[in-house]
Structure 1
Amino acid sequence: MKSLVRFGLLSFAFIGSLCPVDAAPIILWHNQSGQQARFFQKVVGEFNASGRFKEKIQAETGLELESILIPQIDSSVRPDMLFIPSDMIGLYRELYLSEIPSSWKRAQTGIPDDVYQLLTFEGKIYGIPVLGGNHLVLFYNKSHVSVPAKTWQELRDQGQALRSKGIKLIGWPFLEPYYFLPFLQSLAPWTPEQLNTNAMESALSAYHQLTVSGLISAECGQDCNTSRFYRGEFAYAISGDWAVADAKLKLGNRLGIADLPKFGERPLLSGRGLQCLVFSNPKTFSKHRALFLEFGRFLQSEAIQSRWASEALRKPLHKAVATNADDGRATLIPSSKATFYAWLAMKQGLSALRGKTPDFKAIARQIQDVFEQIARTGLQQNAGKR
């Protein structure tokens, strides 16, 4: 009887070994949301359906990408790919990014060579550029605004009439550094390593004055330029090109888009950059190199780039479909490690603007001190201090 049981178990194991077993998915983390996430998921699904590879890419959104920047992260949960902005590429060592083959640029003739400069360190490329843009613009609701303001003074002038109708003037995530940056860059060019400057003090003061004058609340968060703006609570919102598709879906022909209003006579200069595919798990890159690189070619292909423009309303990079439309008044954000450190430092400093009488000189000094501390000790020891 025991021999029959043993034979049965062996037979089951043998038959089971002949049955196909689904390959473990390739995990891709991305920072897209709304319409962008839906389009990206569709593109990933089409690549999987091509049948060229038995392994399938599993795209996951809604994740706090910055959590993976801790070098000691458990390798068992490390994603295989990331779709991230170029200002994170400077952390290529902390992210364990795999080098893109040196022949890539020569083979992918549709993508301009110069965009790779932002992704190159010590002569090696660490990302596949997919999209341009990532810049800020001014949204306005045409139901509330007939002629968009070109200056902040014009905004103030429109505010009283709007408030009399129960409509708030403007919203954006006030304490987020990327939204503060245009005010800083309107005064002087921004260098991530040099944050304790006269320009920083002046920009902090001017930014805080927006809350004192009642133009915006310092507590305005991510909902101010998304759901609350879409509901008509705000007449204006500062948002990014990544949100145009969502805004058009919600507002239709009531959505207007304009340049950021001038601050006095000075234009507000948004940042801009690239959206890139990177490979963040050296073991799986070595094992599935052909799949990873083919997915990169797929995202850079003329067909997908064209659809990114027409369906997701993003800025493609492929020469055949890229438009001459500029990024508004925008400057290229460096992809150095210092840039990411500066975001963390400014986020801490901006939180002090909630106070009624902040010391702008002290805040600028604090921002510089936090930057230097992170530069000395690394992300691991500062990850919980945001």
Structure 2
Amino acid sequence: MPGRLCITLLFLLITGLFFYSSLGHSRQPDQKSLTIAIGLENYDFKPLFAQFTKKTGIGVKVVEFENNSLKSELLLRASNNALPDGIIVPADYMGLTALDLSEVPDDWLSTHLIDQVRQNIKANGTTLGVPIVFGNQLMLYYNRALVSEPAHSWQQLRTQQQKLGVNISWNYYEMYWYRAFLGTFGTSLIIDGNANLDTPAMVNGLRWYKSLKDEAWLDVECDYDCTVNQFLSGEVAYTINGSWMFQRFSEHFGDKLGVAQLPSLRGEPMRSYFSSHVMAFPDNALSGSKSAELRTLSEFLQSLPVQSNLWSSINALPVDKRALDMLKIQGIRQVEALISTLEHAQPMPNEAQMAFVWEAMLKGLTRHLAGVLDEHQAAHFMQHIVEKSISYEQEKKPGQ
């Protein structure tokens, strides 16, 4: 009898433990995995996603695209109803209305955002992204093994070319680069919500940019990947590229990597755009079934521990003022140089019209470079194209 009693009690104990174990497991909420799209040439966020999954149990599948095809891929997916749960992109992507981005509630945003960042996360007056890193500006990288002191002006750079045989490269036909040259002459591309391309500044910018091609300052047919490889191989001593390339260049060159402000022209600084990289939510994802997981990821990426480690993990500047202040007082030479390149940078407009502005500028510039239009005609042509494109977009009806 005692033996049967022990066996019975043991059976009840085991089944009870199984029941409570099953009950406890059933009470755990089902964790949904997230799909996030990013650009390959931008910051490497995958280690941060791995930390997030380890901490929360929420998986993150990363979909990577080449930078020059990221926008078109997202728009294609939008037309096929196949958008990811989130995208990490430069802030100007928020102007792509076809992505149907969710408005981000104010209480999703950190209360410690840098003022410049807070002003750069709205498109047409609406907050459509959660900022993660800050910068995205173009700057002058140089190889210290080839150049001991960087050129501070285009006149100095020409002298170095002639005396030392050093060369420079940049993505000549990419409008984000051209805009930095245009910025030397002032005037915004958008004023009061209207495209502003047919200006004396554009005429001067076109004239100067064409002269750089005509005077053989660089191989203008060398595209983005080509310019990166030229710099990495030592074929050129200088390259103009973005803050997103700092990590890769730093890993390759070590202490031989130099960073400087873009060269001035007759005392006037070049003015690159700057922006934040934001996480945005296409296809109105915040109204969907994964809203809670997306908020958890947003809070994680904005948290002080993550923001404080952005420089050491991906060589990016944080959007959290506390983290940036802590970074500044560490006296890291490369950080100081990177921050200094923001001195003359200007915030990039996030209005939807910018997509048409970039396209119109490229069409006008290529016709000017080919000799089809002079600089005055090209500026007028740009304005005509952008106004026509915007008008057509506004006239389109839903579903057309």
Normalising to structure 1: TM-score of the pair? 0.83
| Matched positions, count | 348
Amino acid at match of 2:135: G
Closer/same/farther in 2, CA of residues 377 and 369 from structure 1, 3 Å limit = same
Residue number among 13, 26, 43 corresponding to 2:48 in the alignment: 43
> How far apart are 1:178 and its partner, in Å?
1.0
Amino acid at match of 1:30: I
Closer/same/farther in 2, CA of residues 133 and 221 from structure 1, 3 Å limit = same
Larger radius of gyration, structure 1 or 2? 2
Closer/same/farther in 2, CA of residues 24 and 316 from structure 1, 3 Å limit = closer
Which residues in structure 2 correspond to 1:26-37 (within 5 Å)? 26-33=34-41, 36-37=43-44
Is 1:160 matched with 2:165?
no
Corresponding residue number in structure 2 for 1:58: 61
Corresponding residue number in structure 1 for 2:20: none
Amino acid at match of 2:379: A
Corresponding residue number in structure 1 for 2:103: 99
8 A Cα contact 1:131 1:275, kept in partner: yes
Amino acid at match of 1:61: E
State the alpha-carbon separation in 2 of the partners of residues 213 and 100 from structure 1. Answer: 48
Corresponding residue number in structure 2 for 1:301: 303
8 A Cα contact 2:124 2:352, kept in partner: no
Corresponding residue number in structure 2 for 1:3: none
More displaced stretch, 210-219 vs 256-265: 210-219
Closer/same/farther in 2, CA of residues 301 and 114 from structure 1, 3 Å limit = same
8 A Cα contact 1:138 1:259, kept in partner: yes
Which residues in structure 2 correspond to 1:202-351 (within 5 Å)? 202-282=204-284, 285-323=287-325, 325-326=339-340, 327-351=342-366
State the alpha-carbon separation in 1 of the partners of residues 207 and 32 from structure 2. Answer: 53
State the alpha-carbon separation in 2 of the partners of residues 207 and 148 from structure 1. Answer: 21
Corresponding residue number in structure 2 for 1:170: 168
State the alpha-carbon separation in 2 of the partners of residues 371 and 160 from structure 1. Answer: 40
Closer/same/farther in 2, CA of residues 228 and 296 from structure 1, 3 Å limit = same
8 A Cα contact 1:111 1:300, kept in partner: no
2:237 match: secondary structure: strand
Residue number among 80, 84, 88 corresponding to 1:74 in the alignment: 80
8 A Cα contact 1:96 1:281, kept in partner: yes
8 A Cα contact 2:170 2:239, kept in partner: yes
Q: Percent identity?
A: 28
2:225 match: secondary structure: coil
Closer/same/farther in 2, CA of residues 71 and 60 from structure 1, 3 Å limit = closer
> How far apart are 1:371 and its partner, in Å?
1.2
Closer/same/farther in 2, CA of residues 197 and 41 from structure 1, 3 Å limit = same
Q: What is the alpha-carbon root mean square deviation over aligned residues?
A: 2.6
Corresponding residue number in structure 2 for 1:145: 147
State the alpha-carbon separation in 1 of the partners of residues 363 and 395 from structure 2. Answer: 16
8 A Cα contact 2:31 2:57, kept in partner: no
8 A Cα contact 2:132 2:302, kept in partner: yes
8 A Cα contact 1:28 1:81, kept in partner: yes
8 A Cα contact 1:172 1:225, kept in partner: yes
> How far apart are 1:112 and its partner, in Å?
3.9
Q: Which runs of 5+ in 1 are unaligned?
A: 1-17, 382-386
Q: Deviations over 1:214-237 (max 9, x none)?
A: 212321310343111010000111
2:106 match: secondary structure: coil
State the alpha-carbon separation in 2 of the partners of residues 123 and 208 from structure 1. Answer: 36
8 A Cα contact 1:171 1:224, kept in partner: no
8 A Cα contact 1:302 1:321, kept in partner: yes
Q: Which runs of 5+ in 2 are unaligned?
A: 1-25, 329-338
